[in-house]
Amino acid sequence: MSATLFGLAGAALVGIGLFGLIVHPTALRKLLAFNLVGAGVFLVFGVVARRAAAAGLAGDPVPQAIVITGIVVAFAATALAATLLARLSGPEEEP
């Protein structure tokens, strides 16, 4: 039951994020929308890991390992995009 609920929540987050990613014209909002999609996808992975509990395991470690990598990648990407945004919004300077 809870797995279904979390799955639906993940799907909703992905949907909202994708909508924002496509509709919003500014880069900062697109970046936030990307993070929203990311959160939804990670939640879906959590649900997938949890479903192994039905087979008697505490949880499937493989999706958890993937989520950790995904979070690290999303964090690094957000940092890179934020740096680019900060450089662009700052005063014009010679490189």
Partner 1 sequence: MMVSLLPVWAVLTPVLGLCALLLCERWIRPERVAAPFVGLSLYLSLSMTYQVMTSQAPLVYALGGWLPPLGLTLRADGVGVFLMTLTALVMTGVAVCAWTPSEGASSRGRFSFWALLLALWSALNLAFTAQDLFNFFVALEMLSFAAVALVALDGTRGALVAALRYLLFALAGSILYLLGVGLIYGRYAVLDLAGLREIAQPDTVTLAALALMTVGLMAKTALFPLHLWLPPAHAGAPAPASAMLSALVVKAPFLIILRLWVDLLPLPAAAPQQIMAGLGAAAILVCSVIALRQQRLKLMIAYSTLAQVGYLFLMFPLMPGPAPWQDIGWTGGLLQLASHGFAKAAMFLAAGLIYEALGHDRVAELGGLARRQPVTLAAFAIAGLSLMGLPPSGGFIAKLLLLTAAVEAGAWWIAAVILAGGILAAFYVFRALGHALADGDPPVAPVALYRQGAVLALALCALAIGFVPLRPFALLAIGRPLEALEALP
Selected from 16, 27, 32, 64, the binder of partner 1 by CB under 8 A is 27
The count of chain residues that interact with partner 1, using the rule CB under 8 A, is 33
Q: b/e map of 68-88 (b: 16 or more CB within 10 Å)? A: eeeeeebeeeeeebeeeeeee
Which residues contact partner 1 (rule: CB under 8 A)?
Answer: 14, 21, 27, 30-31, 34, 37-38, 41, 44-45, 47-48, 51-52, 60, 62-63, 66, 69-70, 73-74, 76-77, 80-81, 84-85, 87-88, 92, 95
